[in-house]
Amino acid sequence: MTTPEPGTLPHAAAPPPGCPAHAGGRAGEAPAAGRGAALYGPAVSEDPHGLYARLREQYGAVAPIELEPGVEAWLVLGYPELLELTRNEQLFSKDSRRWRVPAEGRLRPDSRVQPMTAWRPTLLNLDGAEHQRLRAAVADTLAQIDHGRLREITEAAADALIDGWGPDGTADLIAQYARRLPLLVFTQLLGLPAEAGPRLIELISHFVDSSENSVRANAEFQATLADLVRSRRAEPGADLTSWLLAHPARLTDEEALHHLVVILVAGNETTINWTGNTLRLLLTDRRFRATLSGGRLTVADALEEVLWRDPPTQNFPGRWATDDTVLGGQYISAGDMLVLGLAAANADPAAQGPLTPAPAHAAPSVRDGTGTTGNRAHLAWGAGRHVCPAQHPARLIVETAVETLLHRLPDLQLAVPAGELSWRPSPWSRALVSLPVLYSAFTPPRPAATERPVWTPPPHSTPGGSPPSPSTPSDATSTPRTPGSATPARRSWWNSLAGWWSGR
């Protein structure tokens, strides 16, 4: 597409029909005069793909939206346009201080959008050399994670959680597994005290969901991490926080604090949602039910399909225009905010074309035969210089969590019809409210075993026939892990923490 020279747009020209000043409406409906389409409320989560399709049909690759009443922005729906947005730092900056809305006094102090868009001295909000300095610190710190050790930590945490509710025969895999597992891992990686975990996950949920408590939650969350920074500055340990502080980039305490926020929020929320969405796919999609045991489609294939169809972050703020320009046929004014429509761009027909340029992190895979591209050219991790630096540890954690669960509970199935599953009302995340399941109850500890059985998916996407009874525990239905997969000391620590978290 053609981008005019900065400053060449006629200032007297009337805004085009798609300008935020001329559009509006409720989520999922055609915008009415005066505002953009609302990207908030339950309707966004109920049918985001339908919303994106309608916006694409009406406006093209870039659509006017509202993040909350009176807070306008642009949603980038097109795959090529999103790549251009992320690669052109001269026209589209990561510095949210350029945003016209707060500069003009139109963002309330208690705005639910504020915690996700406020400027902080992090790699998320900077361009150029300063961004490169901070990104190097985070990327190098994450690169020090030993993947074998990380897998052991994740397996031990998963086993401890499963043991906690194994005798019940029923569980909510979001509340009791996906939402608890990442904090069990991250508290050890970052050097946080175990007792901080439950409160941190509650605080993260508040401001990622833009709830009414998001501002207060954000303040308490940062205060907790500030204490951690002071502690590790005085007494370093073998953890991510200490490595970050010791990096040659010489981060200040404030910079270190805000990058811990980035690691915890992005890593925790992404891992939760990716785990939950993958388990949902495995339990409801006939292709995976029919082929996992046969070997054609694997857990890795499911992980990749989720990143295409239901990425854990469906929209991400953002970029801010440095000058008047045009993107996707829309006139963008200097200071406008542009939201990265990651899920929408993945669904763009242009994303499936053979000539579509892939982002730098793309790696080839296989096609699953359904028309959905099975490669890694999706935009779930973003693109350009700001592509997510934590995607490899995140993938290892999620893949290990899913495989461990399927190994431990071979007859796992949904406890409700698939159509009754609902999504959290967040403009940013794609996350299930709950994922209730049934399985054959068992009583830990488990006897040793020498091999792992293949997970046998249920014959129907909804419970039917004779589901496993949650009332009769049986050691045989939960497959034990081979001896030596975790040291006794680590298993004891995880079981203690998981039991405390479960109220035992």
Q: Is the separation of the CB atoms in 117 and 99 below 8 Å?
A: yes
pLDDT tens by residue, 266-322:
888 899 999 999 999 999 987 776 555 554 678 899 999 999 999 999 999 889 999
Cα separation, 91 vs 164, whole angstroms? 52
pLDDT tens by residue, 115-146:
889 888 889 899 999 999 999 999 999 999 99
Distance of CA 360 to the CA centre of its chain: 20
Q: Is the pLDDT of residue 355 over 90?
A: no
Q: Which of 333-342, 400-409, 470-479 is predicted with the least confidence, judged by mean pLDDT?
A: 470-479
With 0-12 / 13-18 / 19 or more C-beta atoms within 10 angstroms meaning exposed / middle / buried, residue 411 is: middle
Which of 245-249, 354-358, 498-502 has maximum average pLDDT? 245-249
Cα separation, 172 vs 434, whole angstroms? 6
Q: Which domains does the chain have, with CATH numbers?
A: 134-501 (1.10.630.10)
Which of left, alpha, beta for 12 (phi over 0: left; psi -120 to 50: alpha)? alpha
Cα separation, 355 vs 369, whole angstroms? 20
pLDDT tens by residue, 312-343:
999 998 899 999 999 999 999 999 999 999 99
pLDDT tens by residue, 381-396:
888 888 889 899 999 9
Question: What pLDDT sits at residue 463?
Answer: 40
Question: What pLDDT sits at residue 219?
Answer: 84
34 or 292: which leads in pLDDT: 292
The interaxial angle of helices 253-284 and 128-143, nearest 10 deg, is 60
Q: What is the mean pLDDT of residues 473-496?
A: 40
Q: Is the pLDDT of residue 351 over 60?
A: yes
Q: What is the mean pLDDT of residues 471-491?
A: 42
- For residue 348, which amino acid is it? D
Question: What pLDDT sits at residue 91?
Answer: 97
